[in-house]
Chain A
Amino acid sequence: MLPAPSKVIRTAFKLATTGTLLNDLGVSLLRAAAGFALGAAVGGTLGILVGFSRIAEAAIDRSVQMIRAIPFIASLPLVIVWLGVGEAEKIFLVALGVTFPIYINTVLGIRQVDPKLLELGRVQGLSSIQLISRIILPGALPSILTGVRYALATAWLALVVAETIGAQSGIGFLAMDAREFLRTDVIVLTIVIYALIGIAADAIARLLERRLLAWHPNYGTAR
């Protein structure tokens, strides 16, 4: 049975003013942000290493691709054994989901930089650091931002799964708690909140693309 939308709105208002909704929302957002930052740092660093160095590619890429072949949610039991049920486990799972899209798109972006532009950079006398900052990273940015956008989606997925299991706070906890009492209005509310945050994250990613890729004919609006 689905509750009436008006009931969900009333519940939202009630939980926000007298309950713990805002606190739970904050906890969830913080977990997502921490996991995303960690995963993006690891994925980005590995991606840059592999993108630039054939040796790093030989050493890292195959292992990463093997781990990537596992649906990251399948590793949840192992993560719980390692880290227990707590904040660390949730942040780790989010980070795991974020690492791979960032990694793959960073490597791809660096590899796709036009070698003719690199040659031009050398002709103009750029140092290695200038080559990276003026040519390679800007050239890889469209692909990296695609990775960011994809990673935002997986981050939410990971968070929902992690919070469904043994959370003491957060949106997922709210949902599981409501299940115990058959409060479908609260359950629907949490689903709506997840959806809204997903939309907001995507909007932020789009905004980043428009700002950072203003030069790009397929993204920018600048003339």
Chain B
Amino acid sequence: MNVHATPRYAASSESGPAVVVSSLVRSYGSRIVIEKLNLRIERGEFVALLGESGCGKTTLLRALTGLDSIQGGRIVAPRRPAVVFQEHRLLPWDNLWRNVSLGLQAQDARERAAEALTEVGLGDRLDDWPRNLSGGQAQRVALARALVQQPELLLLDEPFAALDALTRIRMHELVRELVANHQPGVLLVTHDVDEAITLADRILVMSNGAIAFEHRAARDGSTSISRAELLAELGVISHSPN
């Protein structure tokens, strides 16, 4: 557990929140990218993180993976998170079930991979090669590979950015379903305001290495925030009259 993590990446109890970040500091040399950032994500909670390029959101996500060292603060999580990247990152020399079970320490790896692939609608392609997949299918396999680990925390680093509009809408549906079934805490890093509004229980806007704005969706699931308001928070358009 947490083999690659820094000493500050600590394991918490199995029943607590998906992740608790306190006073996180991340810098490259003298340039501070994240300054005293606090963040808590519950299990089953879907958090979207918006922000313009270079605001530190990808740096935050990378820090949460436990691969990068951090310069201050604490990240407490039950286990290492699963990650889906913008590129599918499937191993071209392994067939789909071998890709999905990568890193899985289980006797029944093939069966578990088959279950996960069935969940993303590719249960009949176990022995196929990644090169025979479309972009959307490959990203579905990447989702299966993340979920087969049964993570408490799922990190999504702009996983739909490279997909066409129709495929993206289908992927949104699929992700919503999978998260509802597996109940991990989710942190979705995205540029897409509509995507954040569609998927998230909570929307964070990051700016200059800190969380500048937070919006929580209503209990009934309807999001009261408008696209224009969010774009204003992102500094893309000026504040609307209402």
Contact of A123 among B65, B91, B93 (CB under 8 A): B65
Q: Which residues of B contact A223 (CB under 8 A)?
A: 132
With A116-B87, A134-B102, A138-B93 known as contacts, the answer to whether A123 contacts B82 (CB < 8 A) is: yes
**From A117, A123, A139, residue with most partner B Cβ within 10 Å:** A123
CA of A134 to CA of B98, assembled, Å: 10
CA of A138 to CA of B90, assembled, Å: 13
Given A123-B67, A138-B94, list of 10 further CB < 8 A pairs?
A: A116-B89, A119-B67, A120-B85, A122-B4, A125-B80, A125-B103, A141-B93, A213-B93, A215-B92, A215-B94
CA of A119 to CA of B130, assembled, Å: 18
CA of A127 to CA of B102, assembled, Å: 11
- Of residues 82 to 131 in B, which have CB atoms within 8 Å of A's CB atoms? 82-83, 85, 87, 89, 91-95, 102-103, 129-131
- 6 residue pairs A–B, Cβ–Cβ below 8 Å: A125-B3, A125-B103, A125-B149, A130-B103, A138-B94, A213-B93
Whether B131 contacts A116 by the Cβ 8 Å rule is no
Whether A215 contacts B102 by the Cβ 8 Å rule is no
Q: Which residues of A contact B132 (CB under 8 A)?
A: 223
With A116-B85, A215-B129, A217-B131 known as contacts, the answer to whether A124 contacts B102 (CB < 8 A) is: yes
Q: Which residues of A contact B91 (CB under 8 A)?
A: 117, 134-135, 138
Contact of B93 among A116, A122, A124, A139 (CB under 8 A): A139
What sequence of 0s and 1s flags, for each residue 112-153 of chain A, a beta carbon within 8 Å of any chain B beta carbon?
000011011111111100100011001101000000000000
CA of A141 to CA of B92, assembled, Å: 12
Residues of B in contact with A, size category: 20 to 34
CA of A218 to CA of B143, assembled, Å: 27
CA of A122 to CA of B68, assembled, Å: 11
Q: Which residues of A contact B82 (CB under 8 A)?
A: 123
CA of A75 to CA of B83, assembled, Å: 54
Q: Which residues of B contact A216 (CB under 8 A)?
A: 92-93
In whole Å, how far is B186's beta carbon from the nearest beta carbon of chain A?
Answer: 16
Give the top 7 A-B pairs by smallest Cβ distance, nearest first: A124-B103, A138-B93, A120-B89, A215-B93, A125-B103, A123-B83, A124-B102
CA of A130 to CA of B80, assembled, Å: 18
- Chain A residue at minimum C-beta to C-beta distance from B155: A123
What sequence of 0s and 1s flags, for each residue 34-59 of chain B, a beta carbon within 8 Å of any chain A beta carbon?
00000000000000000000000000
**From B80, B85, B91, residue with most partner A Cβ within 10 Å:** B91
B145 contacts the other chain (Cβ, under 8 Å)?
A: yes
What sequence of 0s and 1s flags, for each residue 58-71 of chain B, a beta carbon within 8 Å of any chain A beta carbon?
00000001010000
**From B83, B94, B102, B132, residue with most partner A Cβ within 10 Å:** B102
Q: Which residues of B contact A141 (CB under 8 A)?
A: 93
CA of A49 to CA of B129, assembled, Å: 31
CA of A134 to CA of B80, assembled, Å: 20
Q: Which residues of A contact B3 (CB under 8 A)?
A: 125, 127
- Chain A residue at minimum C-beta to C-beta distance from B4: A122
- Chain A residue at minimum C-beta to C-beta distance from B79: A125
CA of A127 to CA of B4, assembled, Å: 10
Whether A222 contacts B129 by the Cβ 8 Å rule is yes
**From B80, B82, B85, B92, residue with most partner A Cβ within 10 Å:** B92
